[in-house]
Structure 1
Amino acid sequence: LVVLLVRLHLTGFFWGDCSLSNTLFRRSAGEFAAYLVDAETGELHGVLSYGQRAYDLDLLSTNVFGELLDLQAGELLDADVDPATLVARIGERYDDLWRALTDVEEFSVDEMWRIEQRIERLNRLGFDVDELDIVTDWDGATVRIQPKVVEAEHHARRLQGLTGLDVEESQARRLLNDLDAFAAAHGLQAEDPMIIAHRWVTDVYEPLRAMIPDPLRGIVEPAEMYHDILVHRWFLSERAGDEVDFFDAARSYVESILPARAATVSAAETSGPDELSAVSPSDDDPSFD
């Protein structure tokens, strides 16, 4: 949610009603991707002032705190979750991310490598830098840089360029890591990235998609299922004390976990918390986390 707010503010969008209830959350490789679903109070500006950003951030903290208290009162919030502590992290997380994306950085001309370091750091956060303001002082001894045009979903765009897959940012990061592992396992590091990606899609991703039973297609996202299988494979390998084959892990997942996962997703769309808990898998199953 904080990443969403930062992304909106970078584009000059003032939300005006930030809250959990006005946000859509989608699973993304064990995390969640957030989307704005109610922009009735929103305003688009060229650049937001500090006051506008601070208002949105304060409103977000206030609303989320109230919503968490409501969940707590309804006994729908995990007992280990402290609303006050969680809300305090919102401001810290926002400030850290905003500074990482917008702060001016100064260094000597002998440290030009720090330009690439800054770009790589932003890429790891999931952002592309389309424009970088670079200024050298009057005596040419100091360089000052500041990102000017920053776009989110760096990994998602990279994966789509390589494979054509349109997935969430966290899912893309996980799939790209597996793509790199595939290249290493098959000695393909020297090959063209497009060739590697084509082989990975053909030999791994598409066969996995084909394993989804017909009744569950449209309920289960292949990219999220891929992530779940990687987690499941890790647990199986730990249990076996040896590396489990990817497709063996996939078959195990499809047979033992996927039906419960699909039932939970379906129930979440049509039922309340009581019905949802009835179809959730056992807490003893670590692969479903």
Structure 2
Amino acid sequence: MAGSLNITAATVDPGLLDLPWDVPLEAWPSEAIAALPKGISRHLVRFAKLGGHVVAVKETTAEMARGEYDMLRTLQRLEIPCVDPVAVITNRSDAEGDPLKPVLVTRHLRFSLPYRALFSQTLRPDTATRLVDALAVLLVRLHIIGFFWGDVSLSNTLFRRDAGAFAAYLVDAETGKLYEGGLSNGQRENDLEIARVNIAGELLDLEAGGRVADELDPVRISDGIVTAYRNLWTELTGPESFPGAERWRINERVTRLNDLGFDIEELAIRTDAAGSTVRIQPKVVDAGHHQRRLLRLTGLDAGENQARRLLNDLDSYRAAYGKQDLDEEVVAHEWLVRVFEPVIRAIPSDLRGKLEPAEVFHQLLDHRWYLAEQIGHDVPLAEAVSSYINTVLRHRRDEATLVNPPTGTLTMPIAAIGDDEDDEDDWRSKV
């Protein structure tokens, strides 16, 4: 029997051959089944034990199984949160030789649950809202890469708890299609309306079964995905214009994106003919890579949040001077020499035990932004450094023990920060 199977997989697990493929999925023996909570599916799905992990087995057609397998692999390459495709198995037959349905095998996402299993008795409004918000984030990420889902719902999503919130993962991609040219507004709105209607139906179904709190309003919760989606989409993709003297607004935009859980991969800054406006276009990357990128580009070893902040400043520097076409490592070295190191050298030796350098620079950026917001225009870096040292750093408690006695002098004058012999020696008033 095993020899008659057709298995399509990137890497075949030998344990696949031990599963009872000659038995209809609905009749699989209990020793092959893993008892895990399942969501609602139009197809028959069973969880099975495969070596040291669990897989989901879904009966479908051969065409749909292969299409979904390929789509899930594509979404993985594009770093979209989704289940891991394991194999497509066709040419199944029972003991009498009668054909059985092909199956798609995916790896079960550990520590994840369908929405119906995320509450013990009743679904509270705040939990429902967090689930919908997580789904909105996933839908935005899918639309950004040009993926039309076509069947957005809580049932087609798995959720992981994530520091008090939930992270959503795509489970069912059989109706999805990827458009290289991106989605039209009509396609995005269609997907969003599908999501709103499906979520309302799912919550109303729970309400009919007495499984939601009395104060939960299914229609209001489902409408919430529309608001959450549109706010996030605008923040991630909407261009922003402001006077050239207010470049501190770049940092404000980046901070808003960070607060929404996203980071900046690239800043595209363009000035108009008069040079009076700047436009930024953010792109999205997953968190977790900042330390490695900063270390690779600059040799600086910082915490993840510190690294993200320093890289944001590096990218702003690169965009402000039109250096996007230059090698990233060359620009990073220039930023290190012109921006980061002069700031750190400007810290008086008796204050260097207050904070580590990366944290000093992070706080300086915050301080400079607050100053600019107060006066309504950019603050030269040298002025911001001087203000930060005298009004913030000098009043902090030491976080390190100094070996050498303090001297109380600057290693270089503030006015010298950023001085250079080429045409950009006045960048202090621009960066």
| Short-chain TM bin | 0.5 to 0.7
1:54 is aligned to 2:189: yes
In structure 2, the residue matched to 1:42 is 176
1:18 is aligned to 2:116: no
2:260 to 109, 125, 145: 125
- Whole-angstrom distance in 2 between the partners of 1:9 and 1:33: 17
Larger RCO (CA within 8 A; separation ≥ 6) = 1
In structure 1, the residue matched to 2:408 is none
- Whole-angstrom distance in 2 between the partners of 1:160 and 1:79: 48
Q: CA deviation at 1:189?
A: 6.5
TM-score normalized by the length of structure 1: 0.54
Q: Secondary structure at 1:131's aligned position in 2? A: coil
In structure 1, the residue matched to 2:277 is 142
**What is the identity percentage for the equivalent residue pairs of Structure 1 and Structure 2?**
54
- Whole-angstrom distance in 1 between the partners of 2:242 and 2:232: 21
Q: CA deviation at 1:129?
A: 1.4
Q: Secondary structure at 1:134's aligned position in 2? A: coil
Q: Tell me the number of residue pairs that the alignment of Structure 1 and Structure 2 aligns.
A: 170
Tell me which moved more, 113-122 or 65-74: 113-122
Q: Secondary structure at 2:234's aligned position in 1? A: helix
TM-score normalized by the length of structure 2: 0.37
- Whole-angstrom distance in 2 between the partners of 1:189 and 1:16: 54
1:191–1:6: structure 2 CA closer, same or farther, 3 Å change rule? same
1:189–1:53: structure 2 CA closer, same or farther, 3 Å change rule? farther
Question: What whole-Å deviation, never above 9, does each CA across 1:225-281 have from its counterpart, x for those lacking one?
Answer: xxxxxxxxxxxxxxxxxxxxxxxxxxxxxxxxxxxxxxxxxxxxxxxxxxxxxxxxx
- Whole-angstrom distance in 2 between the partners of 1:54 and 1:18: 12
1:158-197 aligned at under 5 Å gives the runs 158=290, 190-191=355-356
- Whole-angstrom distance in 2 between the partners of 1:41 and 1:120: 35
- Whole-angstrom distance in 2 between the partners of 1:81 and 1:189: 50
Q: CA deviation at 1:144?
A: 2.1
Q: CA deviation at 1:37?
A: 0.4
Q: CA deviation at 1:98?
A: 0.6
1:3 to 137, 159, 166: 137
1:68 is aligned to 2:203: yes
- Whole-angstrom distance in 1 between the partners of 2:265 and 2:290: 14
- Whole-angstrom distance in 2 between the partners of 1:189 and 1:30: 32
1:120–1:40: structure 2 CA closer, same or farther, 3 Å change rule? same
1:79 is aligned to 2:244: no
Q: Once superposed, which parts of structure 1, at least 4 consecutive aligned residues long, lie more than 4 Å away? A: 156-162
* Richer in helix (by share): 1
Question: What whole-Å deviation, never above 9, does each CA across 1:54-92 have from its counterpart, x for those lacking one?
Answer: 011000000000000110111111111100111121111
One-letter amino acid of the counterpart of residue 145, structure 1: I
Q: CA deviation at 1:5?
A: 0.5
Q: Which runs of 5 or more residues in structure 2 are unaligned?
A: 1-134, 295-303, 306-352, 360-431
1:227-242 aligned at under 5 Å gives the runs none
In structure 2, the residue matched to 1:101 is 236
Question: What whole-Å deviation, never above 9, does each CA across 1:165-188 have from its counterpart, x for those lacking one?
Answer: xxxxxxx99xxxxxxxxxxxxxx8
In structure 1, the residue matched to 2:70 is none
1:18–1:160: structure 2 CA closer, same or farther, 3 Å change rule? farther
Q: Which runs of 5 or more residues in structure 1 are unaligned?
A: 163-171, 174-187, 195-289
1:107–1:19: structure 2 CA closer, same or farther, 3 Å change rule? same
- Whole-angstrom distance in 2 between the partners of 1:72 and 1:35: 24
